């Protein structure tokens, strides 16, 4: 009888104790969460390293400056065509009327 009582006591202690199975499951869940966060941070780090590598290339930097800031080289001109101001019936080259025979 004492043996069964001691066994049940240690079983309960193993499951619900401070270092029991419940805590072990929580630690596994925390490990999985931290591993996922680590993978995401690694992917972000790789993306940032690639972006930093591209930014060190003069052609890429020039393209960014030209596209985002509107810079032009000397003796270069920018044509801005605003198609929205044109009325729908207006056409630079009107189509000829169909001819009936």
Tokens of 50: 């690639």
Residue 59 in any domain: the answer is yes
Number of domain units in the chain: 1
To the nearest 10°, the Cα dihedral for 54, 55, 60, 61?
Answer: 180
For residue range 23-34, list pLDDT tens digits in order: 788 889 999 999
Residue 19 in any domain: the answer is yes
Q: Is the pTM of this model over 0.75?
A: no
Instruction: Note the residue count of the chain.
Output: 101
For residue range 26-72, list pLDDT tens digits in order: 889 999 999 999 999 999 999 999 999 999 999 999 898 888 888 88
Residue 97 in any domain: the answer is no
Residue 89 in any domain: the answer is no
């Amino acid at each position: 009888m004492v043996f069964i009582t001691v066994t049940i006591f240690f079983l309960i202690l193993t499951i619900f104790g401070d270092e029991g199975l419940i805590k072990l499951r929580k630690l596994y869940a925390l490990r999985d969460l931290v591993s996922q966060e680590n993978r995401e941070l690694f992917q972000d780090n790789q993306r940032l390293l690639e972006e930093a590598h591209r930014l060190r290339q003069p052609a890429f930097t020039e393209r960014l400056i030209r596209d985002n800031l509107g810079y032009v080289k000397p003796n270069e001109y920018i044509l801005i065509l605003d198609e929205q101001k044109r009325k729908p019936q207006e056409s630079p080259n009107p189509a000829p009327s169909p001819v009936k025979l």
